Amino acid sequence: MGGPLVYLNGDFLPIEQAKISVLDRGFLFGDGVYEVIPAYGGHPFRLKQHLARLDDSLRGIRLASPLADGDWATILARLLEGRPGDYSLYLQITRGAADKRDHAFPAVVKPTVFAMATPISPPSPEKLQKGIAAVTLDDVRWQLCNIKSITLLANILLRQQATEEGCDEAILIRDGQATEGTASNLFIVKDGLLLTPAKGPSLLPGITRDLVLELAAGAGIPLAEASIGLADLEGADEIWMTSSTREVMAVTTLNGRPVGNGWPGPLWQRMTCLYQICKERLRTGAEG
Ligand SMILES: Cc1ncc(COP(=O)(O)O)c(C=O)c1O
């Protein structure tokens, strides 16, 4: 009798029964924002931080937050009920369905609120040990990349180009500086120093990015937020891409050439261990 439940506008129902209007502005314009939160053993990872970013995204598109953090926690707990494995929680809020298609905000409209849980598996040990291939591409996205907008066409086209070039991710270059990946943040290591571009409108403030910085600081790894040019990328000892679902991945090939010695580096090994410890602490309910 139907698949796992999803949440839509106050109801929990099987996914095939979850329906929205064709006039929904998310469907017509991509007028909405989203979040992706991993959950391990029934515990959402860094929930507070993800919900704070969701609020920032909503503020960024001038949409009032339809739910309080406590409401979200209740909804997500219900979606995870009886599902003890690892899940990705997807939350989406659009400006809702107006009675006609018009770019300007409708005077009266009720946001559409949707959430679902999808099983995830961590990157395979083979993939982790081998690392991924990346290609640098022109960052053709808009100027408000700090908003986690559902309007992802540029990211999609860039990721598709990377895929067609046999790569797992694209590293995006804007005005000569690397910003981030199509769905991940960027770190490099040079002479033992961990570097990542500073937050701002040209990149999404990744929750994994913050965690990696926190873990690095706690472990005494020297770090800095700094601009990363193409030459810095090409001369890096290590390159990492981070995201909630792909965790910390080492880039071992850049534009067809090996990064460092072509294998994930020692600092990546250290960081990935620290990250796994965090995840395991969460499973036992010790960390949020
Ligand atoms: C463009 C972009 N940058 C960075 C990230 C990483 O963010 P997080 O670590 O919060 O998953 C994502 C995640 O999907 C993303 O889409």
Q: What pLDDT digit, counting tens, does each position of 72-85 carry?
A: 999 999 999 999 89
Percent of all residues in the chain with a pLDDT value above 90, rounded to a whole number: 94
Number of domain units in the chain? 2
Q: Where a domain ends, among 62, 88, 119?
A: 119
Domain interval for residue 135:
125-283
Catalytic residue among 48, 110, 127, 148: 148
Decide which of 80, 101, 119 is a domain's last residue.
119
The neighbour count for residue 199, using CB atoms within 10 Å, is: 15
Closest C-alpha to ligand 1, atom 14: 183
pTM of the model: 0.97
Counting residues of the chain whose pLDDT is more than 70, the rounded percentage is 98
Residue 251 tokens, joined = 């880039």
Is 288 domain-assigned?
A: no
Q: Judge if 115 and 146 occupy the same domain.
A: no
pLDDT of 1 > 50? The answer is no
**Residue 184 shares a structural domain with residue 252:** yes
Output the CA 85–ligand 1 centroid distance in Å. 22
If asked whether residues 100 and 170 sit together in one domain, one would say: no
The CATH number given to whatever domain includes residue 175 is 3.20.10.10
Same domain, 164 and 269: yes
Together in a domain, 174 and 254: yes
Q: Of 253, 150, 127, 278, give the one whose Cα is nearest residue 204.
A: 150
Which pLDDT does position 4 carry in this prediction? Answer: 80
Tell the residue nearest (CA) to atom 5 of ligand 1: 184
184 CB within 6 A, ligand 1? yes
Mean pLDDT of 60-64: 98
Quick check: CB of 112 below 6 Å from ligand 1?
A: no
Q: Is the pLDDT of residue 31 over 60?
A: yes
Cα–Cα distances in angstroms (integers) from residue 221 to residues 7, 240, 244, in the given order? 41, 15, 21
Residues 107 and 237 in one domain: no
Please indicate whether residue 216, judged by its CB atom, sits closer than 6 Å to ligand 1: no
Same domain, 50 and 86: yes
Residue 148 a catalytic site member: yes
Express each pLDDT in 141-151 by its tens digit.
999 999 999 99
